[in-house]
Amino acid sequence: MLSAKKFFITGYTLFFLSQPAMAETVLSSQYSACVAQSTDIADRHQCVHTEINHQEKRLHATLQKAQAQLSHSRNKALQKSQRIWEKYKQAICNFHLDPDAGKMGLLDADTCVMQVTAARAQQLEVLTVAGE
């Protein structure tokens, strides 16, 4: 029998090992190509904004799919977790917006939004696949 502490540590470890976002966040091949062709910060920023739009659409589609698969009570829990996640995204990415870093600070904050959104979409995709 596992002690409460060992159970928590084991569960915590398994949770994070099972999270695809922790392994590698999936970004589009168009983003990679855009970054490879970018020549300055403005180009890179445009790549990030295009990818943010792509990842937000991906997240929205995944949320709709999850909502269609879940019971009413699980949908309420998903909505609650999504609201909390939105606050987390805003807080963590606002931290990356260093006012002393100029355009690089803005790029860093937007890159955070891109990566966090992609990770959330990927996390929910695992949920929807498991529900199929």
Q: 35 in a domain, yes or no?
A: yes
Q: Write the CATH number for 103.
A: 1.20.1270
Phi-psi region of 58 (alpha: psi -120 to 50; beta: other; left: phi over 0): alpha
Range of the domain at 61: 25-130
The per-residue pLDDT for 23 is 46
CB 34 within 8 A of CB 28: no
Q: 15 in a domain, yes or no?
A: no
How wide is the angle at C-alpha 11 spanned by C-alphas 10 and 17, nearest 5°?
90
Q: 116 in a domain, yes or no?
A: yes
The per-residue pLDDT for 11 is 38
Q: 49 in a domain, yes or no?
A: yes
- Burial category of 99 from C-beta neighbours within 10 Å (exposed 0-12, middle 13-18, buried 19 and up): exposed
Q: 3 in a domain, yes or no?
A: no
What pLDDT digit, counting tens, does each position of 4-54 carry? 344 333 333 333 444 444 446 789 999 999 999 999 999 999 999 999 999
| Count of structural domains, the chain | 1
